[in-house]
Structure 1
Amino acid sequence: MISIDRVSRSRILHEVSFEARPGRVTGFLGPNGAGKTSTVRILLGLDRPSAGTATINNRPYASLPRPLTVVGALLDGSGAHRARSARAHLRWMAASNGLPRARIGEVLEIVGLTEAARKRAGRFSLGMSRRLGLAAALLGDPPVLVLDEPFNGLDPAGIHWMREFLSRCAAEGRTVLLSSHLLDLPVDDVVVINRGRVVAQGTAAEVRGEHESLEAAFLSLTGAASW
């Protein structure tokens, strides 16, 4: 479970609070620059809030002894050195958390990169880099996934695959936090952030309300100019 409790950061975030629960995909939605990535970075211990707390299974990220076994995160790019192969990058990450090498082949197969395992990360397309980043996030078979704009760079087939993957993760009981500016997503719960403040949250149906679509509700909540 993910808990964000009154998190603030000067001029960026203002008392942001929400939860992402097991067995559900929570869409953290907002226009570009709304504060989504800043919130995710605080959750993952990459930035510090000026107030509030962000925890994963009731613990801050920095206190997790083997973080890859608790939370898998996908941020910008793959995180791999351009000169390293996909397999070498994953081997290094597995060693850092004491994970078995056998898991490397498993995650490469899950994300569809088995045939590109020996290819250098610097030669990957944007979509392939996102898949490699996802493979790294899955190495420890974590119960929590935090994915920031995971659809970036994916072709239509990749988008279809990602949508099914997210639904499957929730069906397995994982907590999935999906940060995106896109709206046509397979989400159970929705948190809408705009200009650093949460402006709506609840189930997808609750946030949609009387609007014809989630997109219409989003535009009403954030303003067409922001979108």
Structure 2
Amino acid sequence: MSRVRGRARVLHEVSFVARPGRVTGFLGSNGAGKTSTLRVLLGLDRPQAGRALIDGRRYAELDRPLTVAGALLDGSGAHRSRTARAHLRWMALSNGLPRSRVDEVLEVVGLTAEAGKRAGRFSLGMSRRLGLAAALLGDPPVLILDEPVNGLDPAGIRWMRAFLRDSAAQGRTVLLSSHLMGELAETADDVVIIDHGVVVADGTLAEVVGDHPTLEDAFLARTTATAEGPSW
């Protein structure tokens, strides 16, 4: 798929597949096109050419999207004045999900004690956990997560890594965008590298790293570094 914003090319013939039972790491420096790609996939932006499909359908065609694909983009998506539980309850209602599911996902992400707190009082890490809880409401087979470890402390990062690996082991398709090389090397089965809106590498972690000592070295070899260096 391709997307242009004004006169600027944002995405150019981006094409890759995230597979069930695997964590696909979507890697690129800031501004490379990661979030733009995920926004098109989730129907928030329209491509000028091509299609982005989830289980063979566009996101807008899904009857109960939370039961097919759970997504975490920037922030939690909750209004600042709403409590965590209230935010999740209306989301569950919108997709015909039982209210009991709200308490289940709050427990999964470790926010049970904070369920009555207003989202505006959440730290960045807590907001990411609330966003993940929303993504899990429908117990979807697909997870689409944009920089999910942002704002998490080291313990939270370890928890997120284990959660993603466990989700893939259960057969879920996990698409994870990040600019953190070390974290992806610890988590991903497959890696897609995007640079200036173009996919420059796509394969298993071992294939992408190849003869390079680390994923960071492989990334530098495949992308265009500016005079100031890449922005991770």
TM-score range relative to shorter protein = over 0.9
Distance in 2 between residues matched to 1:12 and 1:119, nearest whole Å: 38
Look up the match of 2:104. Answer: 106
Distance in 2 between residues matched to 1:206 and 1:167, nearest whole Å: 20
Deviation at 1:40, TM superposition (A): 0.2
Which of 154, 157, 160 does residue 156 from structure 1 map onto?
A: 154
**CA offsets 1:154-186 (integer angstroms, 9 cap, x no match):** 000100000000000000000000011111220
Instruction: Give the AA of the match of 2:42.
Output: L
Look up the match of 1:68. Answer: 66
Deviation at 1:223, TM superposition (A): 3.5
> Percent of counterpart pairs with the same letter?
75
Instruction: Give the AA of the match of 2:223.
Output: T
Look up the match of 2:200. Answer: 199
> Where does structure 2 lack aligned partners over 5 or more consecutive residues?
none
Which of 3, 8, 12 does residue 9 from structure 1 map onto?
A: 3
Instruction: Give the AA of the match of 1:18.
Output: F
Instruction: Give the AA of the match of 1:216.
Output: D
CA contact (8 A) 2:33 2:197 kept: yes
Instruction: Give the AA of the match of 1:100.
Output: P
Q: Is 1:126 aligned to 2:124, yes or no?
A: yes
Q: How many aligned positions are there?
A: 221
CA contact (8 A) 2:84 2:117 kept: yes
Distance in 2 between residues matched to 1:91 and 1:20, nearest whole Å: 30
Distance in 2 between residues matched to 1:222 and 1:32, nearest whole Å: 12
Distance in 1 between residues matched to 2:121 and 2:220, nearest whole Å: 38
Deviation at 1:219, TM superposition (A): 1.1
TM-score, normalized by length of structure 2? 0.94
Q: Is 1:93 aligned to 2:94, yes or no?
A: no
CA contact (8 A) 2:195 2:224 kept: no
Look up the match of 1:4. Answer: none
Deviation at 1:224, TM superposition (A): 3.7
Which of 140, 143, 151 does residue 142 from structure 1 map onto?
A: 140
Deviation at 1:145, TM superposition (A): 0.2
Look up the match of 1:45. Answer: 43
Look up the match of 1:210. Answer: 211
Look up the match of 1:174. Answer: 172
Distance in 1 between residues matched to 2:136 and 2:94, nearest whole Å: 14
Distance in 2 between residues matched to 1:155 and 1:219, nearest whole Å: 27
Distance in 1 between residues matched to 2:77 and 2:15, nearest whole Å: 28
